[in-house]
Structure formats: C-alpha cells, structure tokens
Structure 1
Amino acid sequence: MKILYGFGAAPLVAQEKTQRLRIDARARYKYNPLLCLSENEFKRRYRISKRRFNRLCAELKRLTSLRSSRRVSLELKVLTSLSFFATGSYQRPIGAGHNVCQKKCSDYIREVTDALIDKNIIDKYIQFPTSLEARQTLSQRFYRAYGIPGVIGCIDCTHIKIVVPRKEEEHWFYSRKHCHSLNVQMICDDKCRILNVNPKFGGCNHDSFVWENSEVNDYLQALHRDGERVWLLGDSGYPQRPWLMTPFHDATSGSPEAKYNYYHMQARVLIENTFSRLKNRWRCLLKDRVLHYRPLKCAKIVLACSVLHNFAIDEDLQDIGKLNFYGFLAFIMLLLSKKTLHQKNYKLATGSGGTRTRDLWLSGPLLLPTELPRP
C-alpha cells in the first residue's frame, strides 16, 4: 500500500504545483503596483516615479534583450529587481511580495541586472567627458558653483560589503575595515551624477592603487601630454598629480594652504554626497547590508545601481534618502560663502606631481587656462 501510495502521490504533487502556478499568475495579474499604489508609495518602494519606470522598461526593451516571458511580464521582472535594489532584502520575501518564488526572483534579478549593464545602456547613462566641448562645459559648471577652474570631476572610493568569497580568492577582498568588500572607485560631476565607476577591485586594494590602474588615469595623462589642463579633485589618499589635485597636509589655519583646502573640500564633498544618495536610494549597497553573491555578480549589481542612480538624477527626483552629515555641512558652507576666486588669464604651469599648479593658489588665486572661456 505504501508503494501504491507513493506512485499515486506524484501526479497529485504535480497537479498541486500546476494549480499553485495558476493561482500565482492570477494574483500577479490582479495586483499591479502601477495601478494599486499611489505615486508616493510607488516611489517609496521602487525609488523611481511611475512615469520614469515606464520609460525605463521601454529603454530596456529597446536597447537590450530583456523580454517578457510566457507567464511574467517584463514590467514585473523590473519591479522585482527594483525592490531588491531598493531594500537589499532576501529574495524570498521580495518574491512573495510580487507573487513569484525565490528561484524566479533570483532569475529576474539576474536578467534585469545584466540588461542594466548592457553596453548600450552603460554608454548612454554613464559617460565620462571625452570631447573638449563636454569638458569645457563641465569645467565651467564647477567654476560657477565652487569658484575652482579646470575641475571636471571629483573622485573617491567606497567599500561595498559582500559575503565571504571562495577560499582561494578571499584574501583579495578582505579590507582594512575587517570585512569582505569591493573597493569601488567613482567619479562624479557637479550634480552628483556618476561619470565613471570601477568595481573591479577587491577591498584589500588601496584607493591610490585602484586609481593608478584605472583607464581614466591613463586618459587624463594623455590629455595633459596634449596640453589640456583639466583635473579631478581627490582626497589625501591619492597622490598629487597634474591631473589629480589633492589637499595640502597640515595646513596652518588662515594660511594660503588652508584657503586652498577650504575651496578644495567645498567642491570635493560632492563625491561623498554621491555615495550617500546612491546608497540611500539603492539600499542593497548600504554598509549594514551584505550582498550575498559572488564578487563578479556583486560588481554587476554595483554597476546596475549606478545606472539607475543616473537614471533618477536625469529626472531630477527629490532624494528619498537624507544627505549625509558632510553633504549638509557643505551646503551650509555654500550658503555662508558665495565668494569665488579672482581670476587672471595666463597659462597654468605644471611641475613634478602637479604641485606648481596647486601652488598657484598660494601666490593668489588659481588661474583659468587660456583655452577655457570665462564663465
């Protein structure tokens, strides 16, 4: 009887599974967040507006291979993935909230992540200025906002926690913060839009090592060899270079060095704000979350969230997360000081490590390159 019962149970199990799939499909059809949720609730859950969500789905369908399946629409795949990016929760509760099983939730996150880092999408939404006109425009915007000429971006690294990798590669990801992470380098513009992101390095690598081995470093060196004087702003963890300006060490209060550091900090805090806005919107990247994937997939998720960050910035969405303390401090400083540096027109001199460019702050204001039009 037990054997007969075992053989007879198999069709029943298959029938129950089919019935459950039909129930889930009907539930997905009846529950549509675009119709059931208010605009504010939709933004709170998925971090973008309904209009922008429809635009995102259209972009993914037009530029990538992401498509609807027989039982699940493309929109549901994107909603499920956005819910994960926005919360960093486990896949089972995220799937339950969208009437899909854990395995399917994992599949949808993988499909949407791969679509978001498709070359067509990356090239459209994460662009480092590669034309002279784009760099001039960006430099002028930085000067108008912060009084510093020649700047085309701010750079820093941030650690994204991941689970313990395989034993043979674990040492590459163990960071000075005593956890396993990716050390992700980002460059932002004056609007906290990400211009470049490099998630290829493990947490054991120092910020300066990531920079020295980045394509942007090589690109800016080539620009300087061709006589173009533009640079990034970095903190004291980076080496001083003609194309990367860093603060003076141990500047005396009230000295010209301190004045330089003041303007430098006032602008460079943009990258801190960028990290804050990115992680507060896409909370799977927060330090109290851990990405439970292999390093390569974690890097893909960082890239996907960076694309979504710029996608939201382009719409001028009000940040859902609050600015961090440094962002608030920079905002207060901007309100208290509207001064910009006086300027003259002659060419910038560059010496070893770019220190002569930085030293021009000490003999007076930093000077605009003659090839840049006055803002």
Structure 2
Amino acid sequence: MSGRLFFSWRMFAAARDRDDLIFSINRNARARGKLNPVSDLSGSQFRRRYRLTKEMFKRLCQELKQNTNLRSSQRVSIEIKVLTALFFYASGSYQRPVGVAKHLCQKICSVYIEQVTQALTHANILNKYIKFPDTPSARRAISQRFYSKYGIPGIIGYIDGSHFKIVMPRKEEEHFYYSRKHYHSLNVQMVCDDQYRIINVNPKFGGANHDAFVWQNSDLNDYVQTLHQNGEMVWLLGDSGYPQRPWLMTPILDAVPESEEDRYNKRHRKARVLIENTFSRMKNRWRCLHKDRVLHYKPLKCARIILACSVLHNLCINHSLVDSDEENDHEIEDTENLNSDSEVAILEATSELIRGRQVRQQLVRRLQ
C-alpha cells in the first residue's frame, strides 16, 4: 500500500514540476514579448546600456540578418539576441545578471552571446568593418591625413600590441598565455589609422609572445613588405618594441636633444597617442575587455569576442559616436620601456635592419 502511495506521490510531483516549468517558460516568453528596450528606454538610457544609438542598433540587426546566419528563434527575436550580447560586451557582467535582465536563463544567454559573436566575426562583417587600405588611393588618403596632423610622410597606420586578460587556459597550453605582466592574456596586435579606426587586428597569439614575434608572424608583415618591394613608399609606425624595417618606422634610440633625430622622435611620440587611445576607447566602451576584467572563456572564444568588439568599435567610429567615458578614462600603457632590446635583436635580420635605418634616415631628412 505504501509503495503505491509513494509511486502516486512521485507521479503527482513530476506533473507539478512539469506544469511549473511550462508556466515559467510561458511567463518568460510573455515578458520577452512585452520587452522592447528600443521604445521603453530613452535615447540616452539605451545608449548608456548598450553603447549604440537606437538607429545604429536597428541597422546592425538588419545587417546581421542579411549577411550572416543569425536568425530569430520561435520564442526570441534577433533583436533580443543582439541586445543580450551588447549588454554583455558593454557591461562586462557575467551572464547570469544579463540573463535575468532579459528574462533568459544563464545557459540560453550564453548561447545567444556565442551566436551574436559568431555573426559579428562572420567574414562578410569583418571584411566590411575591419579593412586595411587595399588600394593606392586609399593608402594615399590615409598618408595625407597623417602628414597634415603629424608631419610625417608615407604613414598608413600605427601598430602596437595590448594584453587582454583571460582565465587560465588548460595546463598543457598555459605557458603560451602567461605574460610578462604575470597574468594570462592574449597579446592582440592592432593597427589604427589617424581617426582611431582599427584597420587590422590579430588576436591569435598568447600573452607570452613578444610584440615583435607577433608582427614577424603576421600576414600584415608580408603584405606591407610586398607594397614596399613594389616601389610604394609607405610604412607603419611602431614603438621600440618592434624591429626597424624599411616598411616599419621605429623611434631612434639615444637621439641627441634638438637634433634632427630628436625632432623625428617627438613627432613619432605625438602620433603614438593614436594607438594608445584606440585601445583605451575600445576597452572603456566595451567593458568586457577592460583591464580590470577577465574573459572567462577559452582563448579561441576570447579572440572572437575581441574581434566582435573591434567591429563594434569601428561601427561607432563610422557613425562619429563618442562616449563620454572615452574622453576621461584613458588607459595609456608605456610598452616602450618594457620591451627588451635583446628580445628584439634576436628577431632582427641584419640586412633588413640596415636598409630600414637608411630609409628612416632619409625620412628624418625629409622632415626638415
């Protein structure tokens, strides 16, 4: 008798739990149906929460729908998926608060963040928003703007690396990501133009790799070399952590004060604020990348999140959207004094170094 009663009680409890689950699902679905941040929030509230204007958000959703595999599901619209990801990128909060705010459980919230990240890093989106100048006219336009602002001819971008903190990877690969700053990170190489727009990004290397090593093994290095070999006199600017090359101009060490070399260094340092402020603006707008945050994902997914935020950064640049935090909260990181000359020397090829110094000396004389 007691066994039959227990079995009946279990059946009743299972049915009750199933009814509660269905009720919870329907309640959250109704809540999501009523949720419309675009109309419920003011323009400033929406921008403060999601870092984009309402019009930019609508265009982004439409663009992702047209050019990627991101789609609405039966219960959740594509707009809610994008908002979930934007809130995570912008706040740096863990996924549970994000999910509660959007009436989503943590697991499904993680799924939507992954879907939107993949959409933002789709080839159609990346090729549109992160594009190195691939024609002589495009490179000439950037070079002319650099010259008018900083007085250095031939510059098409400033290159540097920045460390983005990640959680400790698997033990067998941990040593690739433990940086000289004593935390696990990705050493992300970026190139920006004179308008703080990211024109190239490489998030593939762990924090244990030196800036010069990342550059030496990047496709961009080969591409800029090809331009130089084809007779196009353009180059990138980089700090002393990079090897001097005919296509990469670095500062002149131990320049005599008030000399031609010293004047070149001053202009070089003045231009360097571009890349520092680019990193600062991106990390301050998209707080999941901030120096006080850690990305709690595997390195590959962390790299995709950085790429996604780079796309969103350029989207804001294209729409001239400046966040108030960006103007007051700069994260200037002096990597020049942290780089070891001996590390760079190991990577330098003597003939290219000599030719690079000769080209740099010609450039110094042209500044007079």
Instruction: Give the drift of 1:250.
Output: 2.3
Match of 1:24 in 2: 28
Say whether the 8 Å CA contact 1:91–1:105 is kept in structure 2.
yes
Find the aligned partners of 2:293 and 2:324 in 1 and give their Cα distance: 18
1:360 aligns with 2:362: yes
Task: Out of 173-182 and 243-252, give the one that drifted further.
Answer: 243-252
Residue identity opposite 1:277 in structure 2: R
Query: How do 1:249-264 and structure 2 match up within 5 A?
Result: 249-264=253-268
Say whether the 8 Å CA contact 1:269–1:326 is kept in structure 2.
no
1:134 aligns with 2:138: yes
1:103 to 101, 107, 110: 107
Match of 2:270 in 1: 266
Match of 1:74 in 2: 78
Find the aligned partners of 2:168 and 2:365 in 1 and give their Cα distance: 51
Instruction: Give the drift of 1:354.
Output: 1.3
Match of 1:332 in 2: none
Find the aligned partners of 2:139 and 2:40 in 1 and give their Cα distance: 45
Q: Deviation per CA, 1:244-294: give whole Å up to 9, x if none.
A: 000011223322221111101111210001001111111100111000100
Find the aligned partners of 1:90 and 1:215 in 2 and give their Cα distance: 34
Instruction: Give the drift of 1:7.
Output: 2.5
Q: Deviation per CA, 1:1-45: give whole Å up to 9, x if none.
A: 334322221121111111111111111122211011110111100
Find the aligned partners of 1:43 and 1:101 in 2 and give their Cα distance: 24
Instruction: Give the drift of 1:352.
Output: 2.1
Find the aligned partners of 2:166 and 2:231 in 1 and give their Cα distance: 42
Match of 2:211 in 1: 207
Say whether the 8 Å CA contact 1:173–1:180 is kept in structure 2.
yes
Find the aligned partners of 2:82 and 2:140 in 1 and give their Cα distance: 37
Instruction: Give the drift of 1:325.
Output: 7.4
1:292 aligns with 2:300: no
Match of 2:88 in 1: 84
TM-score normalised over the length of structure 1: 0.89
Find the aligned partners of 2:136 and 2:62 in 1 and give their Cα distance: 32
Say whether the 8 Å CA contact 2:152–2:367 is kept in structure 1.
no
Say whether the 8 Å CA contact 1:351–1:357 is kept in structure 2.
no
Residue identity opposite 1:253 in structure 2: P
Does the residue aligned with 1:84 lie in a helix, a strand or coil? Answer: helix
TM-score normalised over the length of structure 2: 0.91
Structure 2 runs not aligned, ≥5 long: 333-351
Structure 1 runs not aligned, ≥5 long: 329-349, 367-375
Q: Report the count of equivalent residues.
A: 345
1:182 aligns with 2:175: no
Query: How do 1:151-166 and structure 2 match up within 5 A?
Result: 151-166=155-170
Instruction: Give the drift of 1:173.
Output: 0.5
Find the aligned partners of 1:351 and 1:167 in 2 and give their Cα distance: 38
Match of 1:339 in 2: none
Query: How do 1:1-40 and structure 2 match up within 5 A?
Result: 1-40=5-44
1:198 to 198, 202, 206: 202
Residue identity opposite 1:170 in structure 2: E
Does the residue aligned with 1:322 lie in a helix, a strand or coil? Answer: helix
List 4+ stretches of structure 1 deviating above 6 A.
324-328
Residue identity opposite 1:281 in structure 2: R
Q: Greater helix percent: which structure?
A: 2
Q: Deviation per CA, 1:139-169: give whole Å up to 9, x if none.
A: 1111112111100000000001000101111
Q: Identity over the aligned pairs, expressed in percent?
A: 59
Say whether the 8 Å CA contact 2:146–2:155 is kept in structure 1.
yes
Q: What is the aligned-residue RMSD (CA, Å)?
A: 1.6
Instruction: Give the drift of 1:318.
Output: 1.6
Instruction: Give the drift of 1:364.
Output: 5.4
Say whether the 8 Å CA contact 1:276–1:323 is kept in structure 2.
no
